[in-house]
Structure 1
Amino acid sequence: MAQRASDLAYARLRADIVDWRIPPGTVLAETELSVRLGVSRTPIREALGRLVADGLAAPQGGRGVMVTEVSLEDARNLFDVRVGLDGRAAALAAHRADRAVFDDLADRLRTAAEVLNRAADQDRGPHIPDSVAVPRPGDVPQPADPAGMSDGNHERADDYYALVGLLDEAIDTSVGNPHLLEAQRRLRTQLTRLRRLARDNPRRLAASALEHAAIAEAIAGGDADLAVAATRLHLANALAGITTAIAVPRETVR
């Protein structure tokens, strides 16, 4: 069944906002977006309403809808909630998970960390290998950056984020609590945008990959307490990295 125009517009705009191609403070004008995306204003209006519900955009009176800013206070508030939700999910997964799934994810995350560390050392390098990288639906080949830097770094980061997405999915599958999952899903859109702040920092991404590997290993071992502790450590480090990134002016991702 073909997707509705509003669904396609929403998915495109959401991805552009989350990946910082549309930066905070940008006014999302219906007429301009209608031309850019090749759809009428009605599906654009519906898509903008969903972005507002996600917290990615906000009405600006007579000025239309604007992409929301990312503030340290918002980040801290989101992580306060995330500590409780993610910790509980990790504990439940440790009791119910398929060990082989999480062992495999831990191995792949550790390999990703090695690749990212090499990239940090060399300031460029090979992509995460196919055995580790995860294809993403709708991927479109991008032209190579003449400097050989930015696109490769971003592709490595995207491969890592895809692995984290698989870990999230594996935990979701193991939890078996629909109310907890719904609460987590409401947070993930905004958290994904915050996570992208580390996209240009392969050293932090490598450390984060090891932290996620530790979570996967604890779940695979059935150790709920260790899974919670590993989750809290990762979240504390992630918030520290985001705090630093928010303080540094960021250029729009091209």
Structure 2
Amino acid sequence: MVIPVHDVNPARRTPYVTYALVAAGVLVFLGTPGVASWVTGEHGLAQTCRLQAFLDHWAAVPRELIHGRLPAGVPTGDVGVGPRGPGCVVGAPGYDKSPPLSVLTAMFLHGGWLHLLGNMLFLLIFGNNIEDRLGHIRYLLFYVACGYAATYGFALVNADSADPLIGASGAIAGVLGAYLVLYPRARVWVLVPFLVFLPLRLPAWIVLGFWFALQAVYSSGSGLPEAGTVAYAAHVAGFLAGMVLAWPLRRGTVQPPEPRGLLWGRRARRDR
């Protein structure tokens, strides 16, 4: 897996929407119940119950999206004692939740620091150029549309899942798909783990194509002993949606200058 750190593709305008999305993601994460436990590593039952109740309220749940109805019982955020000992209390929902609107709110929720920082890194590197190409308003609409495509794409193949789906990964995958279509030859600085982290400057089509291939493999259930809690199918759906929406804009997109005679960012010596 390569880690992108910077792209060589200057933008003409300040990416205010990208910055606002990053700020919103960080602020919502800091306001999420139990965030302190992700920093200290200490997880208590009360924190777990509050977090479960928070996610059931604000996260997107595939079963709710496809069937359009809320479950009869959800975590209330309280701790109780049952036949099997202490646990989270389950009761009737004390809120009126709109499943379609939960797709939007779920885009600003994250399951931990690594989840948040990884998403924000990709958004900062690749989002500014897509915002520059689309303009602020169209970029925001594009971002939300890709997030919805990713979430509903995942829900369609996991229609009976009751697990909360959170994160901006699907929307950001759409940004990556658009970048691949619009700036395939732009150079991207990446760190490649090979004994140490080796810095390389690679074309975007290699970096993003490799990323998408990994998501496609993992979404099929191959390559990982367990998929864990990562919604790889949402990444695939969001990426494809971004490619489709950006395709009509290929013509007229100004390409960044392509460096020649460069090896890992330095001029290669010519043999005489």
TM-score (norm 2): 0.28
TM-score (norm 1): 0.30
Structure in which a larger fraction of residues adopt strand = 2
Structure with max Cα Rg: 2
Higher relative CO (CA 8 A, sep ≥ 6), structure 1 or 2? 1
Q: Which has the higher helix share?
A: 1
